[in-house]
A and B are shown apart, each in its own frame.
Chain A
């Protein structure tokens, strides 16, 4: 064979091999990072290699089927959040054929109409990939023309709709007209400001008969010799609630089992899954936020190449090479896209990161755990802020429970579930847009007008609310005027 022919043959062979390898990565298993078509949004970058979480359609599915599966994947993770947020534009409203005229303008039946992944250049805050004035699509003509419906909006342009303090597409729990009118004329600070649910949670005393003392600890002798650990446990909520060592270190052993059984089943470093057995709500909500989203049940795991069609054909070594690497179970601080402390870069995020396993000190978890990693302006400004001063007063016992404002107070909502106050561990729930925290947090202490103004003031947020808002959002005044005008029309 001539040199030229050899080169042609070699090139064709190399091309086929390269295509074959990548095709196998796509359909069977292997590292697919090189195939990413664009940088992922901050919301999903942690799960960028769990492709099937979103691309759930079978290989070579039609475009329509792929789109349908993609949008279903969005709802699998975000539907509950939208329901909780009292979605202003629910999907079901747009599925009505009556709304067909709007589908051409902006098809709100599909999440991907506004939120496309792998489009970093056109991705705005909230992973929105349509222009900021997208409201113009439906609200600029006909019955929905806000400039006619609301005289106050006559001179406004559509890129200002989603300005802080005005409107959000999905979550408007604190921004709809009736709520604004009902909370007009509130003072900036209510008398006796206290975060009610925090106060009630902190005042919840465990049943005294269940409380365990240091001497009640049941553990192998070696473990009992760790005095500091034992002291931590004895002062923890676990001991107060009657949770003995075996509950975590020998979870398979039934309560009341003899020490010999506990010793036999003892695990020195129990997996974090034992936390989930008791703290179900906390574990579930942890997986909804960015701290724990890799543990979300809808996030796909690595593909098992051995179970594929070629699994029985190819040698084991090749199958091992083709298999997906295990997806990391936890987010690490290094991977965060917000400013973080360099010293914490290798820290991975699970229960023990914020909660010391034995001390279970929620006060530490509420502030120090956050500030030990986060290094953005808002976090750095917290120490020394008015909210921090209140927190220190509460922690020291100088102020009543619930009067302090920790990081967790604002970013980890509390809710009453089945008679018990639980803490949501989805720390993103009140962010993007930050008006989501007005009702569950801010209004316990502040008036609505002040809260809207404060959250709309980026500098004030960055400075962790040292001072007063410099701009005023006129939402409440407009809503009051509109209500008065509507009342007058009704009277006529």
Chain B
């Protein structure tokens, strides 16, 4: 039987054994939590009000679990569970993953595939028989897809995967929307509290809190940036144009907004930023590329480039919406930015919105409108540029 830690390590890789685009510190925290849960399920550790204590120092037979059990037992001072999670995540996260993968290779569950590209030292850990990880995913799908009372270990694993946002990597978006109510139901079951020691419930709760706290840092940043972008785009749409002054001579604003050369430069910067923002999204669909930093960094790049494009819109137009085709272009562009910002808010404030009764379907509307507003943009942009050069 695989431990929590082993299951999680398997699930942190894709079918080809390459790591999923999960933030390193989030994965480290989740792996630490998995180790502590393994130790708790094996009655090796316990928690009290002030500290995580070793209840039984007998080795478990799993090298990684035993090494960390020794470390906790040898701790010079008593640390509470939250602190141990912090310490072990920071110091042992990478080691837990590497050692567990090495152990699974040794046991014949995984194989190692080294990069064929010279000077690239990446390694992949595909499943030797192609079954183990698939079986774990099938088991999770079964837990989420049925109404039966699940095994407490499965509940703990699902909660951990949900906190790490690994589940969307396992299930397509549509299926994720379908299983969300079941995940919420599992969280409320308190199976662990009834059937196993309270230490497990504590550890699970604290691990999930820690994982969520890490993920929330990014979410907060994305939420703030999305909100800023949304409000700024709305302001550009509604604000009156910035006056340019009435003095002849070195009038920077007149040059900026009425000189053809300046407008070409600002236009191309705007085009570049918009293209880069679009590219960031398209690259998120290419798994080998998105591994460079993970989804969140690419999402951040997309949002930051979107805000950059918004600033470029201001530099290019000074809140002037234009007329005819230019007005259509401007409205489409700002609509794309406004709905993009709203989509970012819906995505990064999913919890509060859920509590406010906003359904998942409703939360996807801004994203659909964002994409819809983007559809005519290339045609409008090409025509806009052509008009400038042909007339």
Contact = CB atoms under 8 A, between A and B. Distances in A.
Interface in B24-73: none
Contacts of A11: 375
B255 to A, nearest CB: 12
Among B245, B251, B326, B391, residue most surrounded by chain A Cβ atoms (within 10 Å):
B391
A22 B386 contact: yes
B325 A34 contact: yes
A124 to B, nearest CB: 9
B388 to A, nearest CB: 8
A137 interface: yes
Contact of A137 (B248, B254, B322, B328): B248
A149 to B, nearest CB: 20
Contacts of A167: none
A59 B388 CA distance: 11
Interface stretch (B82-90, B178-186, B189-197, B376-384): B376-384
Contact of B386 (A23, A38, A134): A23
B324 A33 contact: yes
B387 A35 contact: yes
Main secondary structure, interface of A, reads helix
Interface stretch (A73-81, A125-133, A205-213, A296-304): A125-133
A59 B379 contact: no
Contacts of A130: 248
A59 B246 contact: no
A34 B244 CA distance: 26
Interface in B241-272: 241, 244-249, 251, 254, 258, 260
Q: How large is the interface on B (under 10, 10 to 19, 20 to 34, 35 or more residues)?
A: 20 to 34
Contacts of A51: 391
B323 interface: yes
B119 interface: no
Given A34-B325, A38-B322, A132-B246, A122 B254 contact: yes
Nearest to A131: B248
A35 B379 contact: no
B390 A34 contact: no
B320 interface: yes
Given A19-B382, A121-B320, A122-B258, A131 B391 contact: no
Interface string A53-69: 00100011001000000
Given A37-B387, A122-B258, A18 B379 contact: yes
Nearest to A70: B391
A158 B383 contact: no
Contacts of B378: 15
Interface string B298-324: 000000000000000000000010111
B246 A131 contact: yes
Chain A residues touching B, range = 35 or more
A119 B386 CA distance: 19
Contacts of B389: 60
A340 interface: no
Contacts of A35: 324-325, 383, 387, 391
A158 B320 contact: no
Interface string B229-245: 00000000000010011
A82 interface: no
A283 to B, nearest CB: 31
Contacts of A38: 322-323, 326
A36 B248 contact: no
Nearest to A26: B390
A111 to B, nearest CB: 16
A19 B249 contact: no
Contact of A136 (B248, B379, B387): B248
Interface string A470-489: 00000000000000000000
A365 B258 CA distance: 43
A61 B320 CA distance: 28
Interface string B347-391: 000000000000000000000000000011011001100111111
Interface of B: 241, 244-249, 251, 254, 258, 260, 320, 322-326, 328, 375-376, 378-379, 382-383, 386-391
Given A34-B324, A37-B387, 11 more contacts: A19-B383, A19-B386, A37-B324, A55-B391, A60-B390, A116-B258, A121-B241, A130-B248, A131-B248, A131-B251, A133-B248
